Homo-oligomer: A and B are copies of this chain.
């Protein structure tokens, strides 16, 4: 099973267009020890020339061009066969608008997320311009499905449906369908990867699940719970936004310190997070705890 990190940043990427925080300002001034990051995006493959996207980031166009494995062959044959949505936030779904050029592929999502995309946003009708263009396939939580040589086990994470979604669509929706984690392996028996780019808290049951995984991509959005409060316009803590912080009591560093046999990689790192700075104390703490920080272009074979 091959994994390509096409994007490793949180919503807005790094640097972020209207932000001049210490990280963003130093990056633009050319005095930052770290790389730019597009919005979180992973591609997975268990079969030659067949790739599956985990979510669809708004940066998908440059992300595809930067990854030779995803270039088209023949006249118009993209190797992208399906997209699995773990939620309905803009940085998870807007990329579907980028891959609107008459390509056939499947989109796996829970029914409420499918409805938010297809019934609440007319723009996505561009995915249904020709017969059999995009096929939506409903995900049922805790029911394993397969796509192009991958076995995927979706499970519910604490989290909310997007704030923008129309209330009428959510009246009968199961809250457990809002945010998913994924366990992914190849049907031919590879090790298992866990994909958890947005998660509000870490239960013991989750730790148990992760201990059986070879690899986990985990929510690295914020360093502290208070970090987003320093961002103009935001009035919620990291946890209130559905992101368990990296540091502090109950943070992912502490809670996951017992996972000794799992390769641990932070993904979805916000532009304000000090772990983006390879010279920072925080980055050193993370590295010493055995964590990696994903970067755009990272490749892992499992």
Show the binding face of A for B, using Cβ within 8 Å.
12-13, 15-21, 24, 28, 36, 38, 58-62, 64-65, 70-78, 80, 90, 93-94, 97-103, 116, 120-126, 129-130, 163-166, 231-234
Contact = CB atoms under 8 A, between A and B. Distances in A.
A16 B101 contact: yes
A125 to B, nearest CB: 4
A164 B123 contact: yes
B101 A90 contact: no
A21 B77 CA distance: 11
B122 A65 contact: no
B78 A125 contact: no
Nearest to A122: B120
19 contacts: A16-B101, A17-B65, A17-B70, A17-B72, A18-B99, A18-B101, A19-B101, A20-B71, A20-B73, A20-B75, A76-B231, A90-B97, A101-B233, A102-B232, A102-B233, A120-B121, A123-B123, A126-B163, A126-B164
Contact of A12 (B101, B116, B125): B101
Contact of A123 (B12, B15, B59, B90): B90
B15 A65 contact: yes
Contacts of A100: 90
A143 B83 CA distance: 45
A60 B97 CA distance: 14
A102 B234 contact: yes
Contacts of A125: 163-164
A100 B16 CA distance: 11
Contacts of A123: 90, 93-94, 121, 123, 164
A158 B191 CA distance: 57
A164 B121 CA distance: 9
Nearest to A21: B75
Contacts of A129: 163, 233
A187 B215 CA distance: 59
A78 B18 contact: yes
Given A59-B61, A232-B102, A74 B20 contact: yes
A20 B20 CA distance: 39
Contact of A126 (B38, B59, B90, B103): B90
A117 to B, nearest CB: 9
Contacts of A116: 122
Contacts of A16: 101
The 3 closest A-B pairs by CB, nearest first: A102-B233, A18-B78, A125-B164
A10 to B, nearest CB: 11
Given A16-B101, A17-B65, A122-B166, A232 B75 contact: yes
A49 to B, nearest CB: 13
Given A24-B72, A58-B98, A125-B164, 11 more contacts: A15-B65, A18-B76, A18-B78, A20-B73, A21-B75, A75-B232, A94-B94, A94-B97, A121-B122, A122-B166, A125-B163
